[in-house]
Structure 1
Amino acid sequence: MKPLIKTLLIILISITNFKGIAQKREAFKLKEIYKSKDLIITQIAKNSFEHTSFKQTNDFGYVPCNGLIVRNNNEVVVFDTPTNDKSAEELIKWIKEKLHCKINAIIPTHFHDDCLGGLKAFDDNDIPSYAYFKTIELAKENNYVVPKNSFKDSLILKVGKEHIVTKFFGEGHTKDNVIGYYPSENILFGGCLIKELEAGKGYLGDATIAEWSSTVEKVKKAYPNVKIVVPGHGEYGNKALLDYTIKLFKP
């Protein structure tokens, strides 16, 4: 009987552990912690938050636009501004007053206004902005507010005791689209380079469609341990979003 009891105990412990892990993962699933008419903030991991603002478009209607906040030791880095200064002010206020964090940087991941439409609000709050050099060039050409600091290929910034990585892997949605990665929680902010599951191709006016799939393949290869992927629009998920985007734009 002893071997049987031992086996049953092992099975019971395994089931309990699995439930515990599942509950832990479930704890941050679509956990809205702030919602107003213009802004939604969703906690997606212990120290990572998706921010969603909205943009009225001619072709796609009222579109939700995502960004990402990552936190460590009362410091945060924000990827992409909300779509306008009003929503950006709301986000900055929430980070300061509710998260009680200092904003180390804002990083627009490409030049469209769903990434830097609220940049003036960050400037007004003396928050440093960083962008890929092509994003700065394109922002100037289109008469948008221009990020203050540029980088050539990749950027590493500290957030508390951790760090974030921002990197250009190639063209796709635009010629300047970069991704953000938070190694501490294996979270990838793909921005508009990455599509949610079942999404269409979206706006292609500035796209390099022929390179889109190969760019995302490079991202997938660079971050094999990614757990959460946040797209520029729609629901976040896992690395299946990378596979879906690769397939969507395959020549």
Structure 2
Amino acid sequence: MKVLGFGFILLLISTWQFLFAQTGRPIYQSETLQIEQISAHTFVHISYLKTQDFGKVACNGMIVLNGNEALVFDTPTDDEVSQELIAWLETERKATVKAVIATHFHNDCLGGLSQFHSKGVPSYSSKQTQILAKGAEEPIPQNGFEDLLTLKAGELEVIIRFFGEGHTRDNVVAFVPAEQVLFGGCLIKEVGASKGFLGDANLQDWSETVARVKANFPDLQNVIPGHGKVGNGELLDYTIRLFAND
């Protein structure tokens, strides 16, 4: 039996990562919630928000799952769908939600936060998000941080960091170093997207903020935008160009 060379094994791993990055793997789907696997320990949860200006909008969040512990980034859009997500994690994955983290104060991040609180799940956001959520009469995350927070699912580390203003004054991103996955939230646009809702945006700083994200995370394998398809570092480049002249 021929033994596979190390180089060939690396090629297989790279191909596997490429396929994940391009397609994801839908592993759960209902009328209100879809979950796709992006890498070994990261998933996208997709729920839907009805808006006046943009119609029915698909909203992305991230799950980091390691062993029997999960971190959820941005809630689904309401309490009912949040319960559906929690039930999937508890029943299908036998996992406990260790924390839920909001990446900014809009309701596509906080819409289901009360359901997580009712389950005893601790919630986190920047202190700026806490202030803005209170002003917008949205559910308020319990624990605030300044510019940097590190959490773990098991031994898998996730870094949550504020790089500057863009979609909102408080938008943060979440980075999984072991798998080079970035959840950019609404700060990052899918390739080909429009500028979207700009009611709370800082158009002048947006490109510069994303450029700082890119400089700090130059080897990204997967980038999850707040809305639309998962991609790679090209999403950062597209977002930088999209707001470069504002």
Calculate the TM-score normalised by the size of structure 1: 0.92
Q: Could you tell me how far apart the structure 1 residues matched to 2:182 and 2:13 are?
A: 25
**In structure 1, which of residues 10, 26, 42 is the aligned counterpart of residue 19 of structure 2?**
26
Residue 207 in 1 paired to residue 201 in 2? Answer: yes
Identity among equivalent pairs (%):
46
Of structures 1 and 2, the larger Rg is shown by 1
After superposing on structure 2, the runs of 4+ consecutive aligned residues of structure 1 that deviate more than 4 Å are: 12-17
Residue 38 in 1 paired to residue 32 in 2? Answer: yes
Instruction: Kindly indicate whether the alpha-carbon contact (under 8 Å) linking 1:157 and 1:164 is maintained by their aligned counterparts in 2.
Output: yes
SS in 2 for 1:62: strand
Query: Counterpart in 2 of 1:180?
Result: 174
Structure 2: runs of 5+ lacking an equivalent:
none
Task: Give the CA deviation at 1:19.
Answer: 5.0
Amino acid in the other structure paired with 2:36 = T
Q: Could you tell me how far apart the structure 2 residues matched to 1:155 and 1:59 are?
A: 34
More deviation, 188-197/150-159: 150-159
Q: CA RMSD in A?
A: 1.8
**In structure 2, which of residues 66, 84, 91 is the aligned counterpart of residue 90 of structure 1?**
84
**In structure 1, which of residues 207, 212, 218 is the aligned counterpart of residue 212 of structure 2?**
218
Structure 1: runs of 5+ lacking an equivalent:
1-8
Task: Give the CA deviation at 1:30.
Answer: 2.5
Task: Give the CA deviation at 1:17.
Answer: 5.8
Task: Give the CA deviation at 1:27.
Answer: 5.5
Q: Could you tell me how far apart the structure 2 residues matched to 1:180 and 1:134 are?
A: 16
Instruction: Kindly indicate whether the alpha-carbon contact (under 8 Å) linking 2:104 and 2:129 is maintained by their aligned counterparts in 1.
Output: yes
Q: Could you tell me how far apart the structure 2 residues matched to 1:109 and 1:183 are?
A: 18
Task: Give the CA deviation at 1:163.
Answer: 1.2
Task: Give the CA deviation at 1:22.
Answer: 1.5
Instruction: Kindly indicate whether the alpha-carbon contact (under 8 Å) linking 1:75 and 1:102 is maintained by their aligned counterparts in 2.
Output: yes
Distance 1:90 1:221, change over 3 A: same
Calculate the TM-score normalised by the size of structure 2: 0.93
Query: Counterpart in 2 of 1:239?
Result: 233
Q: 1:43-62, aligned counterparts within 5 Å?
A: 43-62=37-56
Q: Could you tell me how far apart the structure 1 residues matched to 2:47 and 2:195 are?
A: 20
Task: Please list the CA deviations of residues 183-242 of structure 1 after superposition, one character each: whole Å capped at 9, or x if unmatched.
Answer: 121100000000000000000000000000000000001111211000000001000000
Q: Could you tell me how far apart the structure 1 residues matched to 2:14 and 2:128 are?
A: 42
Query: Counterpart in 2 of 1:126?
Result: 120
Task: Give the CA deviation at 1:102.
Answer: 1.3
Query: Counterpart in 2 of 1:113?
Result: 107
Query: Counterpart in 2 of 1:3?
Result: none
Instruction: Kindly indicate whether the alpha-carbon contact (under 8 Å) linking 2:17 and 2:221 is maintained by their aligned counterparts in 1.
Output: no
Q: Could you tell me how far apart the structure 1 residues matched to 2:204 and 2:55 are?
A: 27
State the aligned residue count: 241
